[in-house]
Structure 1
Amino acid sequence: MKLKSVDHIYHIHRDSRVKRWFFIFIGLCFIVLLLPWTQNIKARGTVSTLYQGQRPQQLNSPIPGRILKWYVKNGDYVKKGDTLLQLAEVKEDYLDPLLVERTQQQVQAKIGVRDYYQAKVGTTNSQLNALNASRVLKLTQLKVKIGQLNNKLAAEEAELAAANNELKLSEDQYNRQKKMYDDGLVSLTQFQQRSVSFQNVLAKKTVIENKLAQTRQEIRTVNIEQDAAIQDYAEKVSKTEGERFQNLGQIEGSNGDIAKLQNQIANYKARQGLYFVLASQDGQVVSLNKAGIGEILKDTESIGTIVPNKVKYAVEIYIKPVDLPLIKEGQNVMCIFDGFPAIIFSGWPNSSYGTFKGKVVAVESNISSNGLFKALVIEDSADRPWPPQIKMGTGVQGIAILNDVPVWYELWRNINGFPPDYYTVKTSKSDEKTK
């Protein structure tokens, strides 16, 4: 007896379709193996920026001081140059409220001293000119006197020569007269007259020789006087020049003191401008670590942090050393920011949702402290912009795009442990022209 319920429950006489579904499944698997697969490298990182001026800036106290007043609180937005807080002096060297005015008075006093020494230098210059003129006059007088004595000496030498000639002639006459007297040819009176004449000529010669010796002595005396005058004026000029150089040294010392005091005045004025701590850039004030009024700040002590408003964001991702050869400048990276929902198909990046495209601009050659290499990624201007809600330090997952290969090749590569294929960056003609 044939029961219909048995046929409906057990399907004994029904045709099996397992074989058909098996071949369909095999066909689908074959088709999937032929589908394209984009190789990639996954890396973690954080949001940052390429420019140091756009990073969070630490606010430091430029001078040690006591807090008088706060003008901001945590979370306030400020513009560049806005006052953050006011400080008061705590060092005893700067407590005088009239410090700058009194230092300026010291400068004026030093300027007066310098002017006094400059006047003394002018006086010593006049003295030097007077001494030089007096020396020239004195030496000229002595030279004229020496010239006169030389002329007198020449005349006396000529007179001596004439006296010698006359003496020689008188001596010859005396000798002849004496011989004639001895022969009895002349009288004694005549011989005595000739003898007196000879003696007179001899005395005249002696007088002329004495005058000549006196003139020579006068010349030597005048020469000695000339040397003494030169020595005397040299001593006077040296002494005056010594005073002049001493005054010049005092002037230079005064100039140095004036420059030092003026430098102190400039430092005092600059220090007074540091009593108000100003914002270094537009941004938000965060992490203020001083609680109230009257707290003492040390030199360069941290007050807080200012986060810039306008930032050109970049992403810092960290690459394993084994994957470093696969990362090149200009390579595409898909960024997934923390807090933004995303549906990821790692092998089909174009089908993913919630990812933002970027490009590698630099790969650091030095390994970081975490044992990884840092790569910098910026926004791809040709794709949609990154979300404006991201902030500094936001976590990022980066997917570096490599070559497109079939699925079967990717499975075969992973089974054999081979590395991904190298990625060749293709630059557009416009980029080449820009370079």
Structure 2
Amino acid sequence: MLNISDNKIKLQQLDQYEAVKNLTNRPHYKILNKIIAGVSIIGIIALFLPWTQNISGTGAVTTLKPSQRPQSIQSIISGRIEKWYVQEGDFVKKGDTILFISEIKEDYMDPNLVQNTKSQIDAKKQSLQSYGSKVSTLLEQIQAIEREKVLKLEQAQNKIKQSVLKIESDSMDLVAVKTQLKIATTQYNRSVQLNKEGLKPLTDIEEKRLKLQEVEAKIITQENKYLISKNELINAKVEINRISAEYTEKVSKANSEKFTALSSQFETDVQVSKLENLYANYSIRNGMYYIKASQNGYINRALQSGLGETVKEGTPIATIMPSDYDIAVETFVNPIDLPLLAKGEKVRVWFDGWPTIVFSGWPNMSYGTFGGEIVAIENFISVNGKYRVLIAPDKNEDKWPVQLSIGAGAQTIALLDNVPVWFELWRTLNGFPPNYYKPSPTITTEKK
């Protein structure tokens, strides 16, 4: 306000008026002021109270192990439904028959298929034994041929030795005959000379000439015998080669028959293995016509109905709920809260249909909640845009209600760090995440 005048404005005091004095002296205003002051003091004190940071999530009741969850019973083979042995709601034990199906594939419709396959296996095994006996016989035959070959070669070697000795004998006889020829020639010439001198008669010359002719004829015979002995030696050597070639051919022929028999034996062995595989498959397939329960539980729902309906392999036929299971809760948390969770962290859980009074910041003051512990955290985001967390009952707290059913709704609060209330209000107003917190690991000492 501009100060353009010298006149001073005098402010009037309200306390000089009686009405104002009466208003200030009324007692309920004093009480209200005290209440406001007390509430303010309490509010300021409450700002310093401890507050448990938490992460909330929603989920449903499930089982701890995958094998304990509701599952479908499927048909391994194609078939046609012939008979049901159970109905919905029945309790079945592991191995109990649920239904019977008949064959629809033409390759397996023969009622004597297993027996016929068994007969084929027996026939092939006998054929396999026959080939084995043939191989053994051929081995014995080869050994006999080898022994005979050795004897024949020894006989031929002896004949060669005999031929060599005979050649030496004939050679010596030839040398002796040649000596006799020289002597006979000398005697004949001496007789002729003496006859010319008149000392020997003509008859002596004729005797010497006759003897000379006999010796000449004998030397021709002896040379012939010598050549025959050489020829016999050559024939003995040729005989050795002939024997070797002959018995080599026999052994090769026997080995060829042996290898042929072995090949047939191996082929038959392969056929026997194939038939045994088929026999096992047919036998197992016969047992698949009766679809049985995989574990103890209750038949929840029959997915295939009626008789004569055809089902393919892998088609779900009924669902079964195991009778024995460990209960758990699966909850979903936002991606921003995932780094704050860890296995072994404590969680408070309350279920739909159970009366509860929940104070998220003061879990000890809550009513109707149950203790839980994180056992698994999924590393891949779910279709709902959140991460799945599996919670098991805390063994150190009260047991969860036995009346809980699989699929019932549940809500969870994961407990984090303890902070003052003013810090939590400041964090919430600024949009900051809760403090990063990890439970302290449990130290175990090994027994020596």
TM-score scaled by length of structure 2: 0.84
Letter in 1 for 2:73: L
Q: In structure 2, how many angstroms separate the alpha carbons of the residues matched to 1:174 and 1:347?
A: 158
Quick check: 2:82–2:102 contact (8 Å CA) kept in 1?
A: yes
Instruction: Count residues in correspondence.
Output: 424
Residue of 404, 409, 412 corresponding to 2:426: 412
Displacement after TM superposition at 1:279 (Å): 0.5
Q: In structure 1, how many angstroms separate the alpha carbons of the residues matched to 2:408 and 2:303?
A: 23
RMSD: 3.0
Q: In structure 1, how many angstroms separate the alpha carbons of the residues matched to 2:69 and 2:188?
A: 132
Residue of 121, 134, 154 corresponding to 2:148: 134
Q: In structure 2, how many angstroms separate the alpha carbons of the residues matched to 1:12 and 1:143?
A: 156
Quick check: 1:181–1:191 contact (8 Å CA) kept in 2?
A: no
TM-score scaled by length of structure 1: 0.87
User: Could you say if the C-alpha distance between residues 329 and 122 of structure 1 is closer, same or farther in structure 2, counting changes exceeding 3 Å?
Assistant: closer
Aligned twin of 2:272: 258
* 1:14 lines up with 2:22 in the alignment: no
Q: In structure 1, how many angstroms separate the alpha carbons of the residues matched to 2:234 and 2:251?
A: 25
Matched position secondary structure for 1:292: coil
User: Could you say if the C-alpha distance between residues 398 and 432 of structure 1 is closer, same or farther in structure 2, counting changes exceeding 3 Å?
Assistant: farther
Displacement after TM superposition at 1:169 (Å): 6.3
% same residue = 39
Q: In structure 2, how many angstroms separate the alpha carbons of the residues matched to 1:122 and 1:355?
A: 83
Residue of 377, 390, 408 corresponding to 2:391: 377
Aligned twin of 2:128: 114
Q: Give the gaps of 5 or more residues in structure 2.
A: 1-18
Aligned twin of 2:296: 282
Q: Deviations over 1:75-128 (max 9, x none)?
A: 222111111111111122222222222222222322333333334334434433
64-73 or 356-365, larger mean C-alpha shift: 356-365
Residue of 255, 267, 281 corresponding to 1:267: 281
Aligned twin of 1:243: 257
Aligned twin of 2:408: 394
Letter in 2 for 1:213: L
Displacement after TM superposition at 1:386 (Å): 1.5
Quick check: 1:118–1:251 contact (8 Å CA) kept in 2?
A: yes
User: Could you say if the C-alpha distance between residues 427 and 130 of structure 1 is closer, same or farther in structure 2, counting changes exceeding 3 Å?
Assistant: closer
Which aligned pairs between 1:289-300 and structure 2 lie closer than 5 A? 289-300=303-314
Which aligned pairs between 1:29-68 and structure 2 lie closer than 5 A? 29-68=43-82
Which aligned pairs between 1:30-429 and structure 2 lie closer than 5 A? 30-164=44-178, 173=186, 201-428=215-442
Letter in 2 for 1:412: W
271-280 or 73-82, larger mean C-alpha shift: 73-82
Q: In structure 2, how many angstroms separate the alpha carbons of the residues matched to 1:395 and 1:130?
A: 89
Letter in 2 for 1:313: I
Quick check: 1:40–1:402 contact (8 Å CA) kept in 2?
A: yes
Letter in 1 for 2:58: R
406-415 or 247-256, larger mean C-alpha shift: 247-256
Matched position secondary structure for 2:302: coil
380-389 or 363-372, larger mean C-alpha shift: 363-372
Displacement after TM superposition at 1:187 (Å): 7.3
Displacement after TM superposition at 1:184 (Å): 7.0
Displacement after TM superposition at 1:133 (Å): 3.5
Q: Deviations over 1:365-384 (max 9, x none)?
A: 33334333332221110011
Q: In structure 2, how many angstroms separate the alpha carbons of the residues matched to 1:19 and 1:104?
A: 104
Letter in 1 for 2:26: R
Q: Deviations over 1:195-230 (max 9, x none)?
A: 766665554444333222211111211222222222
Quick check: 1:177–1:186 contact (8 Å CA) kept in 2?
A: no
Quick check: 2:338–2:387 contact (8 Å CA) kept in 1?
A: yes
Letter in 2 for 1:120: K
Q: In structure 2, how many angstroms separate the alpha carbons of the residues matched to 1:204 and 1:385?
A: 134
Displacement after TM superposition at 1:146 (Å): 1.8
Q: In structure 2, how many angstroms separate the alpha carbons of the residues matched to 1:182 and 1:47?
A: 155
